[in-house]
A and B are shown apart, each in its own frame.
Chain A
Amino acid sequence: AQSVTQPDIHITVSEGASLELRCNYSYGATPYLFWYVQSPGQGLQLLLKYFSGDTLVQGIKGFEAEFKRSQSSFNLRKPSVHWSDAAEYFCAVAGRGSQGNLIFGKGTKLSVKP
């Protein structure tokens, strides 16, 4: 079955520290891969996406993610976290041509210590 696993429910990092959020997926073929961020009371904002090509993808707000086919992973990273990054982060996959039917992980809540 198609699924997305975000193993960390809640992560706390210090401001200025590096961040890595994990995402593993189970899918029949290489899907489209996404990371979204949801701030309290807000909708989801797309951080970055992978469709093909370079497996290291750059996104907004200084985030990047690396697609590793052998590990079925698409981990999100940021070298230096800012207090404003505190939010919930969702990894999602979609089949090529699935027309927006995203399968989401359960999310990772990020807290940032001053």
Chain B
Amino acid sequence: SAVISQKPSRDICQRGTSLTIQCQVDSQVTMMFWYRQQPGQSLTLIATANQGSEATYESGFVIDKFPISRPNLTFSTLTVSNMSPEDSSIYLCSVGTGGGEKLFFGSGTQLSVL
């Protein structure tokens, strides 16, 4: 299994600011993903973080709002830009091993926007 460290674990931010969330994995993985869990809702895939190229975003999510970096096979960042209270959610990093059949999740970042 993969050990995932996600930072920060929680933050309270002001409207209009940006927050960058880091995801570090203890081994090289082929796939890294970012999910959002809005209050009382299920998890939704934001994007696939591609190593060395632009992330692949799901419908409803755009790069200007959620820029993602993945400089190598063990690290990725997600930035939540120009935040509003609607962005208050848990953001989770996940990694896939093997053929994608095993998906591991970080402990998440609890974001509150005032």
**Which residue of the partner chain B has the closest CB to A32?**
B101
A98 beta carbon closer than 8 Å to chain B: yes
User: In angstroms, how far is the closest chain B Cβ from the Cβ of A79?
Assistant: 26
Q: Count how many chain B residues have C-beta atoms less than 8 Å from C-beta atoms of the other chain.
A: 24
A-B pairs under 8 A by CB, number? 58
A74 beta carbon closer than 8 Å to chain B: no
C-alpha gap A3/B101 in the complex (Å)? 19
Main secondary structure of the interface of B (DSSP, over half): strand
Interface string of A71-114 (1 = CB under 8 A from B): 00000000000000000001010100111111011110000000
On chain A, the residues within 8 Å of B114 by CB distance are none
On chain A, the residues within 8 Å of B107 by CB distance are 41-43
- The reply to whether B42 and A43 form a contact with Cβ atoms under 8 Å apart is no
